[in-house]
Copies of this chain bind each other. A is one copy, B any other.
Amino acid sequence: MNSKLIAPSVLAADFANLQRDIEMVNESDADWFHIDIMDGVFVPNISFGMPVLEAISKHAKKTIDVHLMIVDPDRYIKTFANLGSNILTVHYEACTHLHRTLQAIKAEGMKAGVALNPHTNINVLEDTINDIDLVCIMSVNPGFGGQSFIENTYSKVKQLKELITRKNASTRIEIDGGVTNKNAKALVDAGADVLVAGSYVFKSTNQLETIKDLKLIANS
């Protein structure tokens, strides 16, 4: 059974031909579209936002997993729901009222996620883990594609898995950054449920095969 999921990150796709790349993902063994929204204030890069997501939604036939790397995400929760987001993930470091933000996301009918920067410890989720559908562990610093995987990630995944088990939560663990066929198995073994892959997929010569391979490894 293939319970481990693959989420290609559109950040690494060809922005001149998104329809083509989205249709490739539609036809692939991938499970989700991972969508990185960056505002140039929370992170030092502006990726893309609402009009691009609208174009993606029109063609995408799989779960749309939106990762907001923006300040004060509460302002745009309704907007992202209207644009077709199925999962909306906010950064712990950007939320003064995280519990309220999570409830607001769910009230719009989306799954609620929390992303943690590489330096942020799992223990900050102690009081909200039962309200979180997805924790996105950043395994590189958010802002750019193509960075190297941070090894400390394994330890974070294990701690998070332990927290989820201890609290009897049903939260999924997503890994974002530097995922390849080299570390996919170890990440899954540590507890990961969803693997985001950007450059590794879109810069490969055979994208469908790369996804298929990653999916097999993750579920082996």
Please list the residues of chain A having a beta carbon within 8 angstroms of any beta carbon in chain B.
Answer: 11, 14-19, 22, 37-52, 54-56, 58-59, 70-71, 74-76, 93-100, 103, 117-121, 123-124, 126-128, 130, 141-143, 145, 150, 152, 155-156
Contact = CB atoms under 8 A, between A and B. Distances in A.
Given A17-B19, A41-B71, 19 more contacts: A14-B55, A15-B48, A16-B55, A16-B56, A16-B59, A39-B40, A40-B70, A47-B48, A47-B49, A48-B48, A51-B145, A94-B96, A98-B117, A99-B141, A100-B118, A100-B141, A119-B124, A119-B128, A121-B126
Contacts of A38: 49
Contacts of A142: 97
Closest CB pairs A-B (n = 6): A46-B49, A15-B55, A16-B19, A99-B118, A98-B119, A100-B141
Contacts of A50: 45-47
A21 to B, nearest CB: 9
Contacts of A49: 38, 40, 45-48
Contact of A117 (B47, B58, B99, B120): B99
Chain B CB within 10 Å — which of A44, A94, A130 has the most? Answer: A44
Contact of A58 (B16, B18, B39, B98): B16
A130 B151 CA distance: 11
B41 A39 contact: yes
A91 B42 CA distance: 18
Contacts of A103: 141
A126 to B, nearest CB: 5
Nearest to A151: B130
Contact of A15 (B51, B121, B150): B51
B15 A17 contact: no
A74 B96 CA distance: 18
A55 B45 CA distance: 15
Best-buried of A47, A95, A119, A127 by chain B (most CB within 10 Å)? A119
